[in-house]
Structures are given as C-alpha cells and as structure tokens.
Amino acid sequence: MLYLSTRNNKIEKKPSEAVLEGIAKDGGLYMPKSFEGVDFPMDQLSKMTNKEISAQVIALLFKGDKMLEDEKGELEGAYKLVSKAYDGKFDNEDFAPLSKVADAYVMELYHGPTCAFKDVALQLLPQLVSASKKATGMKDEIVILTATSGDTGSAALSGFSNVDGVKIIVFYPRNGVSAVQERQMVSVDGKNTCVCSVGGNFDDAQSGVKSIFANLKLPQGVQLSSANSINIGRLAPQVAYYFKAYRDLMANGEIKMGDKVNFIVPTGNFGDILAGYFAKKMGLPVGQLVCASNTNKVLTDFFEEGVYNKNREFYLTKSPSMDILISSNLERLLYLVCGSERCASYMKQLKENGEYKLTEKELATIRKEFDAGFCDDIETLKTIKDVYEKEGYLMDTHTAVAWNVYEKWLKKTGDKNKTVVLSTASPYKFSSSVMNALGKEYDGEFDAVNKLYEYTKAKIPSSLVNIESKAIVHNVTVEKDEMQDFVDKMVNKKVWMD
C-alpha cells in the first residue's frame, strides 16, 4: 500500500511515513493510492470480535508496511497494536455499543477515557506512531500539533501523555469549547503535554496549525506530526466501527448479509463520515451517508449546491465540536472524485478566495454517495427533550443534531433501510445545554453534571466524576497570529512548558 498527496499524486509515501508526517509537504492530505485489493472479508465479519475487526481494517489500509511486522503475519501485528491501545481503556470490551431508539439505532462512541468518539482513534494513533518510528528507523523527537474544537484535544492528550519520544501541543478556541471539555484538557499533567487557548475560532486554530506545518523551520532531530483527522493514522481506526455496527445489526437480527445500512453522522471536519465512506470502498454495504451539520452549515450547502463557501458568518452553537467552516477532510473526497490536479486547484481557490465550485458532473458523483441536512440550536434542544421524554434516551447536543437531521431526512426520502445514528459524545460533556433542553435549573456547568444525574440517573462517566476539582495545569493563551512564534519557542528554543 502506498499513500499519495491529495494535491500531487507524484508524492508517494509508505503508510508509516504518512502517519509520521501527518500532512504532506505540499499541504495535501495522504490518501491510499487505490482501494483495489483492500477488501474487508465480509464473509468472516459475523464471527469477528471488536479487536479483530479493528485489526483487519488496519492490516488492510496499512498492508505491506513494516509497522505491522510480526512473525505470525501483518494481521497479528495489527492485532497486537489494537490490543495495546484498547485493553482496559474503555468501559467494557464493546467500545461502540448500539442502542435501539425508536426505529433506528444509536451507536455510542463515547465510552472511552475522554467520553468522545475520538478516543477510538486516539488511543490507537500513539501505537501506530511508535510502530512507524520503529519501522522507519526514525530517531527524531516527534512534536504533535493539534487544533481542536473540543474533543480531539482531550482524546489526543490522553493518548499521547507521557509517550516516549513524543511531545504534544494542543490549541483550542478560547471561549469556544464547553467548560467540561476545557477542564479535561487543561488538567492533563503529562510532562510532554502543552495546552494553549487561541483568540479566535476553530478554523483560526486549524489554519494556524497548517501554516506552522508549512512554514516552521525545525531543528535537527525534530519532526512535526498531527493528531487531527488530517493524519491518516487518526482516520483509519475510525473505519472499524462502521463494520462493527453492521455486525451488531446482523447479530440482532435486524439485517442479513448484503442488506444496506444508512449512517447519519454529525460532523464538522468531515473525518468521521469520511471513515464511513472508506468502509464502503472496502466493501461494507452502505446505503446513504448523511452529513449532519449545525447552524454552521457550510457542508449542507456544499452537498446541495456544489459550492464550498467559507465566507459567511461563524456561529457559536450548542454543538461546539461542529463549529467549523473549513472542513479539512472534504479534500480527501474531492481527490477521489476529481483527482489531485483539480483538488489542488480547489484548495488554492479556497485559500485565496474563500470558495470553490464543483462541476455538475462532480457534484452528481458526490450526491450519489452523500446526503446532508442541518439543525439549529432551538431544534437541537427540542430534540434532546423530545427523545428523552418519548424514548427515555438521553443524548448530547451533537447527537441531537444528527437525530434531528435523521428525522427530517427520513420524512423526505421514506428510506426503508436500517439506519444508525452516530453518537459522538457523552451528554455529560455538554451538561448545561442538556439541562437547558430538559428545562431544569442548575448553577454553572459543573453543577449541571450533578443535577443531570439527579434528574435522569444516567451514569456519569468515571473520568467526569468531580471533574471540577481537577487542578488546572495549563494556563496559556495566545492570539491566532502568535501561534507559530509560540511553537517556535517551544520547539527551537527548547522552552517547554513546566
């Protein structure tokens, strides 16, 4: 397997090299050279364990790379990496359980150490990085640069904290994440970690990180990488839970092999839903992938009109992890549809003009695979209340966006296939918004965690119990135009945060 840059298909890397670089030197994202021969053994799926599914996905997407080297074969090598990543890290072995809600299923992806879907990938990414360093013979220190809209930061810090040979710097938008999300990040005490708030929104932080990758001069013995889904090592592990959901639906008697299943995915950066498209390319019988957005509906407009336009008002919403106007992973879909030359042109137009427009043929190709919808804050809160009162099921704001879009999409299409709605975070991470939705009183967000439990009796994740009492370790802030100087000081002048 080789990986190519989305902006120049002459840039080729082995999987381990792509994982270590995170982003290509030309600013492109790494994509498999081809999905031919990357076929998941669907005839074995019903008998596979969760870890076996994850190992199979990794072995296929990274096949032929020394990072998977093992005397018993690459599949066994992948299985060992998965075991190191997941054993004892989740509430139980089922890291993505399905819950029946009305006529659909909700896939709960928040049972990891930081209570968000990104734990599935970010517990495995450090293992992939370590294995890649060994495979390539790299001795350099790796500095992970990550921008977060809330959940990636805490999940990446959890995964990389105190990993030898790696340091991690996380940037998050000041006043743009929930109090629980912020406390999760700033209380991490790993000696190789740094957390910094940025004046601006997530797009400012993400653009700043990409600029640092392109422009920062590094000292000898240091290499930058990323824990965002721009890194293929972060995206690949997420493919597995789509196969797992399909297996569980078969086990529940809801479908038989070959039946198509729809997936409704709340997304801002387009990584989670793209993982579902990867699964489809690998042989999973996916019906429709529906992209659910909040009021920052740049993706909804794109799928409807074929125009990506970031020149619009940015909204702070009740679903902050989706408050994004530059969806980085969409670039990978463009590459698959129109090739590297046109993809590079579109990215150039986006950078220079803030927008680009697909051809009718390109848009038609995309709309065969994806649909989209959006949900505003009023609808989000109403959905939380309605689903809880009617079904007894408690969901966070991002899941509510997806559920609301699912209901609208079902009414529009009348689709009869089984549908899975991805739940990306615990309701306790956004407890104040959930309490507002339920019409209950509380005194601040941390009090809302306890009041939400008193009202619903839904179990509080162990990592969020008494989170307000966790000491603040990181108290650093910069403006968006100061990010590169900050990283330069940390990396080149060796002034790491104590």
The catalytic residues are: 118
Number of neighbours of residue 256 by Cβ within 10 angstroms: 8
Distance of alpha carbon 95 from its chain centroid, rounded? 15
Q: Angle at CA 89, nearest 5°, toward 239 and 291? A: 30
Q: Give the DSSP letter of residue 425.
A: B
C-alpha dihedral sign at 478, 483, 487, 488: negative
Number of neighbours of residue 489 by Cβ within 10 angstroms: 12
State the greatest distance between any 2 C-alpha atoms of the chain, in Å, as a whole number: 60
Q: Give the DSSP letter of residue 218.
A: P
* Residue corresponding to tokens 């670039």: 331
Look up residue 55 and give its amino acid: A
Give the β-pairing of 286-293 and 261-266. Answer: parallel
* Residues 159, 184 contacting (CB under 8 angstroms): no
Q: Tokens in use for 376?
A: 């505003």
Three-state secondary-structure class, residue 39: coil
Virtual torsion, Cα 324, 325, 326, 332, nearest 10 deg: 80
What distances in angstroms separate CA 425 from CA 53, 330, 464, 472, one per listed residue?
A: 22, 22, 12, 23
